[in-house]
A and B are shown apart, each in its own frame.
Chain A
């Protein structure tokens, strides 16, 4: 009767923003990114990639509630960077890593099937 549609778990509602940004009012170079309809899959890879960035002082993600389909990514950086810059860099690096992985796998698959 009042069951929510299953797709509510992964379709961003009309009018809502996929990513919103909230600058911390007390701490310099700190911000929270609210990402709608994402979970541990995206949250954890972004967090781990941010940890590789020397300018990132703090990076963490949380899924505040299993039925609120959003994650929060909190970032604090050194003054020569910014949370936005670090966030963008992390996504770019992950994207390029996946390009490499795809190239490697395609090569490996075709070499493997040819040798059998």
Chain B
């Protein structure tokens, strides 16, 4: 009964890797798989985000729901998310906080006592779980050579006498539910282009023609060698599949000057994380989630059984 396998054996090559950024090549698979991974990274890899806010005092200029919304959007370190439970199916609690399996509690207390405006930021949120805290961007800023900003993400500004006091519950969730749970800032992939210049035809062009053809590309894909006057492909991946150089060649009466095709089984991915989880972990989690999803859509035994009976009944009716 077991049929032949049509499994593929994809290959990868990492180009760049930082905590919040990854660029890699994916080979020997097809778009459906590349796209499924992209979609899962954006909408189905879980993180933790503030989902319930109880405001005790708010005399700031922003209203309660405005602040609650801003709190929800603060990325929280979510390495724990994959092993946490969703509140909606947590057996240990009714899903409204103080349960270590499905939620993390935060407190915020701030009051301005001076004439200097007080910035209330993500740094003022106190977590009940030291593994789930607002993302600290100072390390990545320092690594990128930017000014060290240790102020965190601003929630609201207070003037003298104004106060904000609240309790917040963070829960596990996915981007499909609300974008605040999406661990991905951007995930994109492109087909790896294969660009071939027809050298014989190219040599029939004058220097001016070559220059204007090279310049017809909106992105810097080609270059004219100043010494040999040869047209070179310097950056195939800069090509945006805009067809401009092809149209230009046709307009010059040199159709077929360049041949550009997309390799159907090779993709270049860029993954940017919000900081909730590392980019590398985001990719690996997406694979796990996709595997779980596939497992969930397997046929259940009773469905198979019901069909077997249907088959017998059908045979009985046909054969008499």
Contacts and interface: CB of A to CB of B under 8 A. Distances in A.
Nearest to B33: A45
Contact of A44 (B35, B44, B283, B310): B35
A108 B88 CA distance: 36
A63 interface: no
B259 to A, nearest CB: 26
A7 B29 CA distance: 32
Given A19-B298, A96-B7, A108 B14 contact: yes
B294 A105 contact: no
B88 A105 contact: no
Interface residues of A, number: 56
A10 interface: yes
A48 B30 CA distance: 8
A6 B178 contact: yes
A19 B299 contact: yes
B130 interface: no
Nearest to A106: B284
Contacts of A86: 3
Contacts, number: 138
A52 B6 contact: yes
A57 interface: no
B114 interface: no
Interface size class of chain B, counting residues whose CB lies under 8 Å from the partner chain: 35 or more
A21 B303 contact: yes
A95 B294 contact: yes
Contact of A108 (B12, B36, B295): B12
Nearest to B5: A93
Contact of B13 (A52, A97, A108, A113): A108
Interface in B294-317: 294-300, 303-304, 306-307, 310
B299 A87 contact: yes
A41 B35 CA distance: 7
A112 B293 contact: no
B24 A84 contact: no
B177 A7 contact: yes
A113 B9 CA distance: 23
A97 B7 contact: yes
A33 B194 CA distance: 39
A102 B284 CA distance: 7
A16 B176 CA distance: 21
B64 to A, nearest CB: 20
Given A23-B310, A38-B293, A101-B12, A84 B7 contact: no
B174 A17 contact: no
Interface of A: 6-7, 9-11, 17-21, 23, 33, 35, 38, 40-42, 44-49, 52-55, 81, 84-102, 104-106, 108-109, 111-113, 116
Interface of B: 1, 3-14, 17, 24, 29-33, 35-36, 39-40, 44, 88, 174, 176-178, 280, 283-284, 287-288, 290-291, 293-300, 303-304, 306-307, 310
